[in-house]
Structure 1
């Protein structure tokens, strides 16, 4: 079974989705039209990317009249960063044990 954090990383592996999330984090709320402006993809494509980001908890949306405003949800990214730090710490501990074993056999 895939962990939720790996699904977040998979969602962020797409350069367009990464750009959209970064833009929302830097500029705050944006519409799909605003986000599509500087990108080489259509507004419908941006909406699909936003849907994926929203499904993984990285983006939230709210209605303002006829517009839908999207914003970054940093808590999900922070949670994933913590998970990655724990994985790195586990690997580091394993490597230190391996190094100690290698030095003991000298």
Structure 2
């Protein structure tokens, strides 16, 4: 998968608000099962499983089977392509904020 495809996959995975909420709950927990994710949600267990599949394919979560349960945890490296892509635009914003700061100083010394 190319870098652009990886970034697109991560963005698509996090674009869905329900999936993003599932991911945030996983990030907050050390590990969490589908049952626990379903318990605190208005979404069915089947839908949670589908969201987890998408998050796993995007490299955002990993799983650890234990008996009848599968535990999910966040995979921090999964966000690296997105963070790298965003850092490229950070230069643009830093420059803009510096110009705004100078403009505001000129307006109100």
RMSD between superposed Cα atoms in Å:
2.1
Return structure 1 stretches of 4+ with deviation > 2 angstroms. Answer: none
Candidates 79, 85, 102, aligned match of 1:77:
79
Please state how far the C-alpha of 1:8 moved relative to its aligned partner.
Answer: 0.4
> Which stretch of the first structure deviates more once superposed, 77-86 or 6-15?
77-86
Deviation string, structure 1 residues 48-97 (Cα, Å, up to 9, x no partner): 000000001001001111101111101111331122111443xx29x88x
Please state how far the C-alpha of 1:27 moved relative to its aligned partner.
Answer: 1.3
**What is the alpha-carbon distance in structure 2 between the residues aligned to residue 78 and residue 26 of structure 1?**
18
Ranges in structure 1 where 5+ consecutive residues have no aligned partner: 97-106
Q: How many residues align?
A: 94
> Is 1:52–2:54 an aligned residue pair?
yes
Q: How does 1:1-106 map onto structure 2 within 5 Å?
A: 2-89=4-91, 92=92
> When the two structures are superposed, what TM-score results if normalisation uses the length of structure 1?
0.78
> Which stretch of the first structure deviates more once superposed, 78-87 or 30-39?
78-87
Ranges in structure 2 where 5+ consecutive residues have no aligned partner: 97-109
